[in-house]
Structure 1
Amino acid sequence: MQTQIQFVSQTSKSLQFLPSIHDHHQTLNLNRYHNAAALAFSPKRRSLTLRTTNVSAMTSNSSHSDHANGFLDHHDFDRFAEVGNKLADAAGEVIRKYFRKKIDILQKEDLSPVTIADQAAEEAMVSIILENLPSHAIFGEEQGWRCKEKFADYVWVLDPIDGTKSFITGKPLFGTLIALLYKGKPILGIIDQPVLRERWIGISGKRTTLNGQEVSTRTCTKLSQAYLYTTSPHLFSGVAEEAFVRVRNKVKVPLYGCDCYAYALLASGFVDLVIESGLKPYDFLSLIPVIEGAGGVITDWKGHQLHWEASSDSQPTSFNVVAAGDKQIHQQALDSLQWQ
């Protein structure tokens, strides 16, 4: 039986900048990447569940893809990738319209900024999911859970603008993050930079692509030779800051300020390590297929698999994330973090 989806607002009325754009989302240009999937992929819950299988020593891209491929065939993946491309196209059309324009900036309850571009881009993506995959649930950063049922096998997790501070200051290093979960596992992930028109797509069991071309992480076996990214050193505090500093002091070059774009650069083999604290599920779930499909490893600071059970009661609590292009420096980073 199909799940019926309805809208459930979880934000204050002050953040409702505009009416739903469902009636005119068809005017968005959805054709630019319509065939990309065929090119690249041919043949508020009170407690969260975090699976604790240690994957720090495993071959990358095995833990998630083995599970997913046991239930789905390539036709499912092709269809989901096509829809994912449509979502990124639609969000990108909205975001480019507002980029480097003077727009109102409001604060959410957690004091993070939000703009009309964030909400309009999410609504554009939601419209397409409703039209193409009405049995799927949706969890968006701006509006939360959108499904009549409390649970669903398939859940799209959306972050329309990851890096809103970069967006509002005119820096094109933010991104649209799109993940599709199947029974809690991320089977499809997209990092889209709509201004630079770069799109990384990861799908379980397949090689990650950038605009249709396969990409790979690079080999770096020593932490002392690693290039490390994090969004900002000021986002760490207390023991998390101490743990991060232990790693930062051992790497070759620490770098700052890329938001989700740092993970995309890691997948393409330009940096070696990304460490961040306090990420929400919509900040990292899409990254998992992208990083693993490029040959990298992404876990929490204990080396545990990242896993989030989305439902109508789910609360997007925080996770500490470490991603590496090489499993050897991933383990070295874990050893230095010493996270208990």
Structure 2
Amino acid sequence: MTKVLIFTLLALSSLALSTVSVLAKEAYRVVIVETLPVPIVTESRIEFEKELVRIMPEYDIDITRYNAEGSELRAQTILAEIAKEPAPDLVVSVATLATRALNASDQFVDVPKLFMAVSSPVEEGIVPAIGASSERNITGESHVLDAKVKLDMLEGVLRASNPSTPFTIGLIHSTYPSSSSLVSHLLALNGNYEHINLVAISTPYIEGDEGLTAMTEKIVESLQQRKSELDGYWLSSGPLVEANGLVARVKEKTGLLPLFAENISSVKEGALIGVASEPVSIGKSAARKAKLILDKKSAKNIPVEKMDTYTVAVNVTTAIKLQLPIPSSYLKLAKKHVYQ
């Protein structure tokens, strides 16, 4: 009887160990460094985490998050602290300044890296061209459409009203790197459009929690000074477009409305038309890239690309107020994103 009991206990013990072995998951350590706490950054990161866990259920994904509070120097300091610990399986940077610091860090050359919510990876020196791979073990996607595509869209709306003179449009932006780069691309094409005349209106980029508020006030002041020469303005991608209440503040002080916005929330608030990759799309697409990197144990030979999912939005109330008919093709593209 004793022998039977011993054999039974040994069998149960062996079964338990086998079960634990089967249930144990391989773990991946992922570090995320955000540039600053604005909606596109925070929401993209949240969607990234959710999607990565969903598509890799057989792994334990251990995620550690840091925020550089809008400072490249702070991002560098964070990375220096991370480098003192065992190397993670993947480092993810969100937005331009954190990505710039990560790409420049020699401490993470051998660690696979992924960026998201970066407008201008070529100008940042990550790759020589879209479609190319980086030699520094980093990849990702640009989430912004080419300047020509955006200008073509706005020209199509303005042309429909058959104006006698071009619309003078203030390109409002901060000196944040990606914002300046995108505005330069738009201005380079300025003379190619019959109904568009772009005028750059900028404010210095200010770091920290109070930076967006300060930049908003400076842009409002600039628009107040120049409102007599403007028919509207363009909200370029970057921190400023994420400022809470910017559209309402400008309208209150100047009466001007955005004719084009590079985020959808601004169209809800009154921008005539907008096109952007939304945070859900950015995060999910980045998660699929992350899975590929973790499977390969490397980001090398994975080309930097542009996202292929964009949302078009229009505001019919603004169109009526400005007497600018929205072409039916735009309304079809906008689908559920027609606001009033």
Is the structural similarity TM-score above 0.5? no
Larger Rg: 2
